[in-house]
Amino acid sequence: MGLKTIDERLRLAFPDAEITLRDLTGTEDHVEAHITSVAFVGVSPVERHRMVYKALGELMKGPIHALALHTHVPEHNKESLS
């Protein structure tokens, strides 16, 4: 498991996404992720995180020890939120 695996899983689930991953500890198991996707438009923070956790599947059950997760919607989709 590495950042590459995480990146692949996320791109599969969120094909349009802009994804930034950061290895927080140098061990590739404490990861910060910023994901920007239209899939998050109109979706609550809790449901957004559930979508990401689902995409990562079993990686969340051990290989990834800690995931700091930030989900965003693309700039041009923001006005449709309110």
List contacts with other proteins (CB under 8 A): 45-46, 49-50, 53, 60-61, 66-70
Task: Measure Cα distances from 23 to 20, 39, 75 in Å.
Answer: 10, 24, 25
Query: Rounded to whole angstroms, how far apart are CA atoms 46 and 66?
Result: 17
Instruction: Output 12 or 46, the one with its CB closest to other proteins.
Output: 46
Q: Which is nearer to other proteins, 11 or 72 (CB)?
A: 72
Nearest-approach distance from CB 50 to other proteins, in angstroms:
6
Between 3 and 53, whose beta carbon lies closer to other proteins? 53
Residues whose CB falls within 8 Å of the CB of residue 6, separated by 6 or more in sequence, listed in order: 21, 31, 33, 56, 59, 64
Q: How far is the CB of 27 from other proteins (least distance, A)?
A: 15
